[in-house]
Amino acid sequence: MDNLLVAVFDRESKAYEAKKALHELDKEDLIVVFEQAVVARNVDGSAAVRPGDNLTPVRTLAGTALGAVIGLLGGPVGIGIGAAVGLVTGGAMDVNDARIYEDFVEEVRQKLTPEKFALVAEISEDSPNPVDATIKALGGTVFRRTLKEERQAIHDANVAAMQADLAQLNAEHAQAQADRKVKLQEKINALESKMQNQLERNKQRRQAAETRAKAEADLLKARAIEMKAEASAKRI
């Protein structure tokens, strides 16, 4: 299962220890790490990615779930989302995508007070136990959010709400006088256009997810070949 993980620590060194520990769990095939970054929460409430190489990068932070969360950590939830993500990651994030993580980020920010540090990672794990045990041993607090289910839930809720509004407008339109029918039809057309845009965005997200899944599968395949080669070399 692909999860968004945030582990909060009192010390920066512990966040980097956790980063290395996740890499070791990855090498042991207990998890797969796709992206990770250490983030500092400054005294003024802003957040910034700390220097350091991602150990297993698949893509840049810009325009990703990880980038959205890092951007939101640096500002009040619901305010300036696009700007926050752009400033932190160097790229733009769809505002609607960023809003998916608002409640999750708000929970994290209660723990990630100024002058604390967090390891933010996008991982695949069959069980939370290996990561939880590792983070707990380092004195950190773990927060998780499943990616695919969360996005789809938000999409379904938005479409359901628009469908209900559309049904109400159509009912009013059927009984309205001629002069009011024109205005109601304008509202109907606008809502239908908005719903179509929502469906198109969801289609694009699915296509992006398929592209990502292929990249992740290629990464796993490459690792399997590498491990097989290492095992053969040891037998020689």
Distance between CA atoms of residues 68 and 71, nearest Å: 5
- Judged on CB neighbours under 10 Å (0-12, 13-18, 19+), 44 is exposed
pLDDT tens-digit series, residues 86-125: 434 333 344 455 555 677 888 888 899 888 999 999 888 9
Domain range summary for the chain, segments of one domain joined by +: 2-146, 151-235
Categorize the per-residue pLDDT at 83 as very low, low, confident or very high, splitting at 50, 70 and 90. Answer: very low
DSSP 122: E
Per-residue pLDDT averaged across 124-139, rounded? 94
> Which pLDDT score, from 0 to 100, does residue 205 have?
67
pLDDT tens-digit series, residues 1-53: 788 899 999 999 999 999 999 999 988 889 988 888 898 888 887 777 887 64
